[in-house]
Amino acid sequence: MEIFQLLPGQPPIRHNALEHMPDEGFIWLDFTREQAQGWEEWPRRLLNVEVDLQHLEDSMTPSHGSFFDGTSEYDMLIFQGLGPNDDPFPLETRTAAFFMFERLLVTVRAEDNISFHLLKQKMCGPKGKSPRGAVGLAYYILDTMVDRYLKVREVLDARLTELQDVLLSPNNDHDDWRALLDGRRFARRLETLSEDQLEALDGWRRNTIFDWDDKLQVRVRDLVDHVTRVRNHVSGLERDLEAAVQIHFSAQSQRQNEIMKVFTVVSVVFMPMMLLTGIWGMNFKNMPELEWPAGYFIALFLIFGVGVATFIWFRWRKFF
């Protein structure tokens, strides 16, 4: 657990312990889930506020989806961010719970939630400044989490575009369309995450117990716009992947049709040749052709002539 006292316009002040609420600024209590057991004692001791038991359970659930709820004493927002890796494949998420009280922000998160570390480095830097109020700090953390979604768009585009190019290349000898299907499932999951985030942010904006000023309203709308851009981008990418999958299977079907066409032509060309061979291969006693001096050569000429004529006729009719 980390304890920060934040005064507007000043770098955060780190505390090792806290017995009561300070007279100035507000407090940020940052818990990792491994160390968060009993965190509800802090709001009870500092503000005399009880945390709902269901909300406590939600905060300790690592896989909880984005969600907003609250009481008359606080707002609770659960938000899913990306995992610690810059490479989005495979897609990993880290859920963080925000409990916003009057002059107190409690966060419960995974140890490797990189967005929190990035924000702390920024606020504690030489030009670091503390936001005004717990809601403002929650916004800055959420903004950092959403920015990471925006940054992976280029990586996602490059990876899936390369996969599509390889898959649809005529020189591709590998049937790796399953990787493209995995990419489509990845895009669909990211789209679902974005939709859940939008619902949570919209619920927070509509049902918060705090009075937001115009500046914070604009910032949260900008946050919603960023999530919407991610969702729309992924939705378009999913459609491209779906089209690529359909093109791939159409190309595969076209290749199979070409192969079957070759087999069909070969079969039809050899069919009359095999018919003549079968006729002259019958073992009857009276077969006049057997007495012809040039019968063998005439038979060869007819057999191969019929085959060549059939082939030329197919080419003339542009069957292949």
Burial 275-310, CB ≥16 within 10 A → b, else e? ebeeeeeeeeeeeeeeeeeeeeeebeeebeebbeeb
| Structure-derived torsion over alpha carbons of residues 309, 314, 316, 317, reported in degrees to the nearest 10 | 140
pLDDT, residue 126, reads 76
pLDDT, residue 188, reads 86
pLDDT, residue 172, reads 62
pLDDT, residue 293, reads 83
Q: How many residues does the chain have?
A: 320
Are 150 and 230 in contact, with CB atoms under 8 Å apart? yes
Alpha helices in the chain (DSSP H): 41-47, 53-59, 114-123, 133-168, 177-207, 214-280, 295-316
Q: Which residues contact 150 (CB under 8 A, 6 or more apart)?
A: 226, 229, 230
Domains of the chain: which residue ranges?
2-251, 282-316
Q: Which residues contact 276 (CB under 8 A, 6 or more apart)?
A: 299, 302, 303, 306
What is the DSSP annotation of 4-16?
EEE-BTS--EEES
pLDDT, residue 175, reads 58
| Structure-derived torsion over alpha carbons of residues 98, 102, 104, 107, reported in degrees to the nearest 10 | 0
Q: Answer whether CATH 2.30.22.10 is correct for domain 2-251.
A: no
Residue 200: closest CA among 296, 66, 44:
66
pLDDT, residue 171, reads 66
CB atoms within 10 A of CB 60: 15
60 membership: H or E segment, kind and range: none
19 membership: H or E segment, kind and range: none
Interstrand relation of 26-32 and 104-109 (parallel, antiparallel or unpaired): parallel
Per-residue pLDDT of the chain (320 residues; tens, 9 = 90+): 999 999 988 889 999 999 899 999 999 999 999 999 999 999 999 999 999 999 999 999 999 999 999 999 999 999 999 988 877 777 889 999 999 999 999 999 999 999 999 999 888 877 778 888 999 999 999 999 999 888 887 777 777 777 777 766 666 655 566 777 777 788 888 889 999 999 999 999 999 999 999 999 999 999 999 999 999 988 887 777 777 777 767 777 777 888 888 888 788 888 888 888 888 787 777 878 777 888 888 888 888 888 888 888 878 877 76
